[in-house]
Each structure stands twice: as structure tokens, then as C-alpha cells.
Amino acid sequence: MALDMLVSADIPAVVAGPGAPLRTVGGDKRDRHRLQRGSAMDMDRDTAMDTGAVMNRAAVGAAERTVLVIGATGNVGRQVVTQLLATDVGVGVHVRALTRHPDSAGLGYGGIEVRAGDLADARGLEEALEGVDRAFLMWPFHTADAAPAVVDALRRHVDHVVFLSSGAVQDGIAPEQQRHPVGRSHAAVEHLIERSELGWTHLRPTTFASNTLWWADQVRTGDVVRGAYGAVPMALLHEADIAAVAVRALTEEGHDKAVYALTGPEIQTQVDQVRIIGEAIGRPLRWEELSREAARQQLLADDTFPDSFVDTLLDGYAEMLDAPRPVTTTTVEDVAGRPARTLRQWAVDHAADFR
């Protein structure tokens, strides 16, 4: 299971919520506003190569720049790599991908330079950053303990970092005072980046559509998905939408000191999500509500799901159920220049994962 699926943004945004404001600060302009709709886009490798016509804003500079994608085999990182290779978007961009397992990364195309390493490997990270101009950073840890060293390494090499943060981060609250643990860790990384000499862009996505892959085993073996808090409403976000915004920030000017709140275009409960996935794969699926404790035991028995994350997830769902209904934003469309894709579209794209 990809780390970005579990850590970076997929915890329900129980504090900031999908309606978190978008803050844009660029040059002499300081502007705060709330965006009211959202968007989602999926692209596989071939589709990404054909999207240059709609992604035709000027790339950064005329000379080739090197962009490092940290976590290049994650749900979002792989999309960032693919979309950086798209015609026009990645003109003048050399893509370097950092992954723990280069031989099995599946990134041997398009002139991608694959490097071995991760954020816990200080030497590997330092070597991967040599000659890099801009970097995409996702945070795979439950705390920010490693962040000072990582940010310092970035500061020594790059001029701009695009950070995959979390919708759980609350503006105007110190990292240690953030209510949600995911908000605390990501706010701490944001704070360190902002205090450095780096240019930066923060992406704050809400719940990933790919979180529904947690149900894949249940779907393969039956027509019932069992879980707790089926009535929780979410604005599920396609991982390719996050990547599309990241690519803009990595290849264009005008995104420095911007905080982008990202959501999908529609609000659906978990009950709705199961039904939509069933329609996409041609089978009638239904939700069966479990008690919190039964759902907890089910997740603890799942070898692919981290035990340390179980209570965090269920606590987040409980808070979301009691919170105001989430709202969507237009940030993806405003930045990436194309309309949202829905959960139904995501489910069609990922239908094979449920079969």
C-alpha cells in the first residue's frame, strides 16, 4: 500500500475539512479567498502524453531544469512523474525519480532518471538532490522528527519545493496545537519549509479516492463492503488531480507561497462510494454498517493496513460525522485548467483493482 495513500492527505480532513481556505501569496499580492467547487483528473502514462494541448502554460525558463520527485512510486508521485513528461508541460524539464526500489519501480520510460533512496537515507537523498532545481516532497512519516534534516538538505540544493501536505492542517494554529495527528506532522513540515530560504507551494488535499482500495479484497470476494461510519460525507479526490496542480507549481512561475486546498467535485458518503464502485465494475455492491469496535478489529486483522493508523482513521471518521458537511473547491480546475473528474470516473479508471 502506497505511503502517500496512508499519510500525506488521506486522513479525512476532520479539522480543516474540504472547505479549508486557499491562500495565495505571490510577489506584492497577498490574497485570501475560499474556493467553492472542486475537480479531479486521472491520467495514465499514455493519456498524460496527450494532454499537452490543454496544459500549455509556459514552462519555467527556457533551459532544462531538473525536478526531483520524492516518493515517485506512490499514488501521487507516479502521476507527478508521468505528467511532467507530458508535451508542453514538461518542456525543458529533466525528471529525476527517487524510490527505494529502482529495479521494480516501473519508471524505465521517457528518459526518467531513477535514483535509489528515501527520506530516511540522508546520503541517498543528498546525492539525489545534486543538480536539482525543484522538488516534489511527500511526507511518509507519522511525525515530523526527520523534517529538519530533510528541509535543510532541500535548502542546500533546490530553489522551490512543492510539498504534499494535508487537508487536516489548520491555518493560524501552531503545529503542536493542531488537533489531528496528521495535521500536526504536516503543519510542522510546512512550518520548517516556510522558515527556510526555499520557495514553496503547499498542497492540502482532502480524502483520496484511492482510500477506497482498502475495500478491494472485500469486493473481490463478495457483494458487501463492511465498515464503520458509512454516513460520513467526503469530497473524494483523484490522485491525478493532486499531481496536476503539483506539476503546475513545479513548472510555472506564480505559485510561490501558495497554499492550495484541493478537493474532488462531489460529496459522497461511504455508502454512496460503495454503490458507485459497484456500478463502475458492473456489480451491485452494498454497504453493511459495523460498530466501531468491529471495524477496528477488521482493520487490525488486515495485514496491509498499519495497526498504528487504525484508531487515527476511525477517530477521524467519527469527527467528520459530527462536523459540518464538507464543501468543495475549484482549486484543481483553477490551477490545472481542466474540469474535475468524479469518483465514478476514478472507479472506472481503477476498475481492475476491484476485480
Q: Which one-letter amino acid corresponds to residue 213?
A: L
> Could you tell me if residue 321 is inside a domain?
no
> Could you tell me if residue 220 is inside a domain?
no
Contacts of 29 (CB under 8 A, 6+ apart): none
> Could you tell me if residue 297 is inside a domain?
no
* In the chain, % of residues over pLDDT 90: 72
Cβ 337 vs Cβ 55: under 8 Å = yes
Residue 269, phi then psi, degrees to nearest 5:
-80, 170
Number of structural domains (the chain) is: 1
pLDDT band of 54, cuts 50, 70, 90: very low
The three cell numbers of residue 224 are 458487501
Check which CATH number belongs to the domain holding 69 and give it.
Answer: 3.40.50.720
User: At 162, is the secondary structure helix, strand, or coil?
Assistant: strand
For 270-298, write each residue's pLDDT tens digit: 999 999 999 999 999 999 999 999 999 99
Q: What is the pTM of this model?
A: 0.82
> Could you tell me if residue 146 is inside a domain?
yes
> Could you tell me if residue 230 is inside a domain?
no
> Could you tell me if residue 250 is inside a domain?
yes
Specify the length of the chain in residues.
355
Q: Give the residue among 305, 229, 315 at the shortest CA–CA distance from 274.
A: 229
Name the more confident of 137 and 339. 137
Cα distance between residue 127 and residue 102, in whole Å: 15
> Could you tell me if residue 349 is inside a domain?
no
Domain of 74, in residue numbers? 3-209+236-265+327-341
User: Can you count the helices (H) and strands (E) in the chain?
Assistant: 13, 13
Span between the terminal Cα atoms of the chain, in Å: 17
> Could you tell me if residue 304 is inside a domain?
no
Cα distance between residue 248 and residue 13, in whole Å: 24
